[in-house]
Amino acid sequence: MKFPGSKLLHHWDLSTQRISLDDLFRSCQQVGLTGFAEVKFPNSVGMIFYYLGGEVNALYREGSVAYHGQAALDRLRSGVMGDEGIISVYELPLDMAHLLRGITNRQKLKENVEGRNGLVELLRRMEKSEHTGTLELQTALGSAMILLVRGRVSNTYWETANGLTYEKGEARQSLDAAMDKEAAHVFLSEFSRDVWKTRHEVQTSVTSRLERRDEKAAPTERVAAEETALRTQILEEISAQVPSMIQAFVFDLMTGAVLARKGRGTSAIRVGLLAEKVPSLTLYLRDLVATEDADEVELIEVSTSRVATLIAIVSEAQEAIAVLADKAQPTALISAALSRVVRSYASRLHPARGAITT
């Protein structure tokens, strides 16, 4: 499994340097890793995915048999006790790591894809099926990873055989040029919401093994608790600064999942259907704008005769804040208040966010 855009941070050879799985956990957690650790043995391979220093998914493959979660970690623990193996730790771009938290069911497609027209047809199939996950293409000239959210291309990464990495438009151009010269091997993975929701199953097990460090809480649990509290506080600040607010919420830019919400009594019900469509509208417009010379959305405004809907992007967190308000308050004042809150939110994010390469 190749990840264009990854950055090698650490490398250990078990034949010359002994390291336990606990040592690996501790190292990745201390640096607040967003990425993955790859463990290669003579007859098997394993991967542990990290998000803000916490283990969020684990995969292990031996022959045709694959394991994930705690079962994968148990087999990795046994493997690193041997005298052969290579451990490599990589940092990943935030949007790629975000999808990989819930990646599952990686399969090689039976047929290779030929030419850029073949790629276009494959992407049309993904759009029709509203696929969310990753599409990997491997050629002798390089490898690409395309991130898909509900069938739409969210981002594209391309890494040449010499190790040069490109993103977005440049990546797609390089991929098309390579596809015109040779067919590509294709691997398709799914983003499982169930795996993502149960990611703490792995973290809890890891924490219990590391309790001897006398830490009151696991780093990832602290980060999650802090960010949950911060989102709640941010919505309170919006409520105080926007008297006409009907409903406000914070949602994830990769999945569209609502992370925190605040409404004012029964008035929030009448804008419920509109609020429900805000995440999908934002994801669509964000992807649409990104195709225009890699531009980025900062603020979206949708107004009706009675309701103003403003959506601000918090790129540092890969999240967005939406406010639905009565137009009795001037939209310019609502926009100004939302901008202040976004800046405040970005500045108060957990320090581990700053270590992520976007």
Q: Note down pLDDT in tens along the chain; length 358 residues.
A: 567 767 888 888 888 887 888 888 888 877 778 888 999 998 888 888 887 777 777 888 887 677 777 888 888 888 888 778 899 998 887 767 666 666 667 788 888 999 999 999 999 999 898 888 888 899 989 889 898 877 888 788 888 888 788 888 888 999 999 999 999 999 888 876 655 555 443 443 333 222 333 444 445 556 667 888 899 999 999 999 999 899 999 988 766 778 889 987 666 667 888 888 898 888 888 777 766 555 678 899 998 888 899 999 988 777 899 999 988 888 889 999 999 999 989 888 765 454 333 3
Are 110 and 58 found together in one domain? no
Are 243 and 266 found together in one domain? yes
Identify whether 202 is part of a domain.
no
Residue for token pair 């969310």? 132
Are 9 and 40 found together in one domain? yes
Are 320 and 342 found together in one domain? yes
Q: What type of residue is 54?
A: G
Characterize 44-62 residue by residue with b for buried, 16 or more Cβ atoms within 10 angstroms of its Cβ, and e for exposed. Answer: bbbbbbbbbbbbbbbbbbe
Are 187 and 227 found together in one domain? no
Domain count, the chain: 3
How many Cβ atoms sit within 10 Å of the Cβ of residue 101?
20
Are 88 and 108 found together in one domain? no
Are 227 and 157 found together in one domain? no
Distances (CA, A) of 286 to 108, 153, 245, 257, 274: 30, 11, 24, 16, 18
For residue 320 the two structure tokens come to 């967005």
- Residue 62 belongs to what domain range? 1-98
Identify whether 211 is part of a domain.
no
Identify whether 208 is part of a domain.
no
- pLDDT of the residue at 117: 92
Identify whether 209 is part of a domain.
no
Distances (CA, A) of 291 to 128, 146, 150, 152, 249: 19, 14, 17, 11, 27
Residues 218, 225 contacting (CB under 8 angstroms): no
Residues 30, 89 contacting (CB under 8 angstroms): no
Are 123 and 65 found together in one domain? no
Distances (CA, A) of 328 to 46, 103, 243, 272, 301: 57, 45, 10, 19, 16
Contacts of 43 (CB under 8 A, 6+ apart): 62, 63
Identify whether 237 is part of a domain.
yes
Start-to-end C-alpha separation, the chain: 20
- pLDDT of the residue at 57: 76
The whole model's pTM is what? 0.49
In the 8-state DSSP scheme, what is residue 62?
A: E
Residues 234, 341 contacting (CB under 8 angstroms): yes
Domain boundary among 172, 191, 210: 191
The three-state secondary structure class of 225 is helix
